[in-house]
């Protein structure tokens, strides 16, 4: 669902006008409500908790959240407001202005997108925008193997792609099955792709 406005909005106008009854993004100058199925939300919650536990265990300067909006810019110069399914933010940056809204224009250490039916947004558009912004690590979690075979291979398998920013460009590593997911942000993280898939079906609080 999109909210039509008389003129295309920029990022500041989007922050001022977005409703507070859900998650919204700024796409093509319009406010768009983002809906997700429960399995999708289960995966996001699982990763929020996993990252948060690891950050606390190692006393890292991170805040992990699923409700942070980031301003991105496309190759055409269009401003967008994206809400990653999971965001890892420097706590020192976040707490530098605690009276501000939960939106950032700075690159963050790690963003995660859990793939939905509009999978090309994650594999193409957001990949480009996160790379442009300088987000150091980007996960695409395709737990249902929705993307095309050109990304997932044949047969298509549930896959977690980890993109690491190297000299301004993303370098990709793919993980499937019992592979342990290797994260530059959390080098001691101990979760496998099958753990993520399992979390989509059963979420334990």
pLDDT digits (tens, 9 = 90+) for 99-147: 777 689 999 999 999 999 889 999 999 999 999 999 999 999 999 999 9
Rounded CA Rg of the chain: 17
CA–CA separation, 113 vs 16, rounded Å? Answer: 25
The DSSP 8-state label assigned to residue 124 in this structure reads I
Instruction: Give the per-residue pLDDT at 1.
Output: 44
Residue with tokens 């075979």: 149
CA–CA separation, 130 vs 135, rounded Å? Answer: 5
Mean pLDDT of the chain: 91
pLDDT digits (tens, 9 = 90+) for 60-109: 999 999 989 999 999 888 899 999 999 999 999 999 887 777 689 999 99
Instruction: Give the per-residue pLDDT at 67.
Output: 86
Q: Per-residue pLDDT averaged across 145-174, rounded?
A: 96
Q: What is the DSSP string of 16-85?
A: HH--SSS-EEEETTEEEE----HHHHHHHHHHHHHHHHHHHHTT-SEEEES--EEEEE-TT--EEEE--S
**Helix, strand, or coil (residue 121):** helix
pTM above 0.85, yes or no: yes
Instruction: Give the per-residue pLDDT at 65.
Output: 94
pLDDT beyond 50 at 49: yes
Instruction: Give the per-residue pLDDT at 115.
Output: 96
pLDDT beyond 70 at 48: yes
| Short-list 40, 14, 166, 198, CA closest to 105 | 14
In this predicted model, which residue has the larger pLDDT, 162 or 117?
Answer: 162
**Helix, strand, or coil (residue 119):** helix
Q: How many angstroms from the chain centroid is the CA of residue 118?
A: 14
Instruction: Give the per-residue pLDDT at 5.
Output: 56
pLDDT tier, 202 (very low <50, low <70, confident <90, very high otherwise): confident
Write the CB contacts of 126 (distance below 8 Å, at least 6 apart in sequence): 72, 82, 113, 138
pLDDT beyond 60 at 2: no
CA distances from 7 to 3, 13, 43, 159 (A): 11, 11, 36, 39
Q: What is the DSSP string of 182-199?
A: P-SSSTT---BHHHHHHH
Q: Among 45-54, 68-77, 156-165, name the one with the lowest average pLDDT.
A: 68-77
pLDDT beyond 70 at 4: no
Instruction: Give the per-residue pLDDT at 9.
Output: 87
Residue with tokens 């409500």: 33
Instruction: Give the per-residue pLDDT at 12.
Output: 82
């Amino acid at each position: 669902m999109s909210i039509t406005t008389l003129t295309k909005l920029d990022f500041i106008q989007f922050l001022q006008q977005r409703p507070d009854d859900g998650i919204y993004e700024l796409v093509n100058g319009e406010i768009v409500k983002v809906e997700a199925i429960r399995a999708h939300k289960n995966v996001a919650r699982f990763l929020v908790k996993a990252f948060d536990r690891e950050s606390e265990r190692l006393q890292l300067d991170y805040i992990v959240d699923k409700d942070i909006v980031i301003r991105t810019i496309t190759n055409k110069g269009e401003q967008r407001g994206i809400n990653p399914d999971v965001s890892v933010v420097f706590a020192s940056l976040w707490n530098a202005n605690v009276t501000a809204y939960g939106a950032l224009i700075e690159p963050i250490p790690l963003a995660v997108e859990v793939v939905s039916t509009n999978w090309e947004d994650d594999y193409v558009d957001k990949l480009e925008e996160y790379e442009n912004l300088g987000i150091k690590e980007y996960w695409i979690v395709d737990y249902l193997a929705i993307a095309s075979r050109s990304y997932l291979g044949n047969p298509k398998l549930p896959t977690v792609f980890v993109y690491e920013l190297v000299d301004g460009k993303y370098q990709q590593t793919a993980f499937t099955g019992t592979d342990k997911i290797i994260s530059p942000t959390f080098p001691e993280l101990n979760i496998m792709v099958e753990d993520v898939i399992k979390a989509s079906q059963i979420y334990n609080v």
